[in-house]
Amino acid sequence: MKILHLYYDFMNLYGEYANISALERLLQKSGIDFQTDRLSLQDDVSFSDYDFIYIGSGTERNRNIAMEHLRLYKSALAECIDRNTVLLMTGNAFEMFGKSITSADGRTAEGLGLFNFTVTEQKKSRNTADAIFTADFLDKPLVGFINKCSEISGIDAPLFTVRMGLGNQQEDKNEGIRLNNFFGTHLTGPVMMKNPHFLLYVAQLIAKDAVLSTDHLGYENAAYEITLSELTKLTEKNN
């Protein structure tokens, strides 16, 4: 099994490297052999070699640098999505895959064009919020944090439903995007560290029929339950 952590060195806000750390630990505890490659701008990338591809969140400037580099691999990425390679893009990483990104000063940059959505950055302060999301493929909600300056329109296959927090647009009850095994979300935390059930879901997609061990997830599960309980109390209080 091969894992790719792409742009590990500059798309790594909010401790997003911990998503890979959590996955590696789960695979190790399950006795599954794997190799993790941490690659960046100076490296040639053969996307077809990997079972799982991850890019974390970065500043808007770093996201744009990564997007320009990824143009070289647009066809390869489209092939990965079509053949159900598992890809996870957190924070603003998934914004690169749309049609365009319009900056706060009105300049529009062409996106990778693998999806039809468009991104518009805000001129004022960033939007932040604790979050509780649900997903039709998970039996528990997800928790985390949203910190973004963008509004995203044109997503017809959202990843999550918003119970608390921010969606793709203001007042939007949908968040992120999914196509096949491509997962894109602004939810950070990091999302797989804070949500062990989501970690298991993604890991099982990668490991296929392999049996995953969950014995070591006691602390992670306890932390998740406490966070969900406290955020639920806030939701009930505000309502």
DSSP alpha helix (H) spans, the chain: 17-29, 60-70, 74-82, 191-194, 196-207, 218-238
51 conformational bin, left if phi > 0, alpha if psi -120 to 50, beta if neither: alpha
Instruction: Say what the pLDDT of residue 126 is.
Output: 85
Sheet containing 2-6: which strands, arranged edge to edge? Answer: 35-39, 2-6, 52-55, 86-90, 182-185, 177-179
- 121 close to 102: Cβ distance less than 8 angstroms: yes
For residue 38, the surrounding DSSP H or E stretch is strand 35-39
- Show the domains of the chain with their CATH numbers: 2-238 (3.40.50.880)
What are the pLDDT tens digits along the chain (239 aa)? 999 999 999 999 988 999 999 999 999 999 999 999 999 999 999 999 999 999 999 999 999 999 999 999 999 999 999 999 999 999 999 999 999 999 989 999 999 999 999 999 987 778 999 999 999 999 999 999 999 999 999 999 999 999 999 999 988 999 999 999 999 999 999 999 999 999 999 999 999 999 999 999 999 999 999 999 999 999 887 77
Hey, how many other C-beta atoms are within 10 angstroms of the C-beta on 173? 12
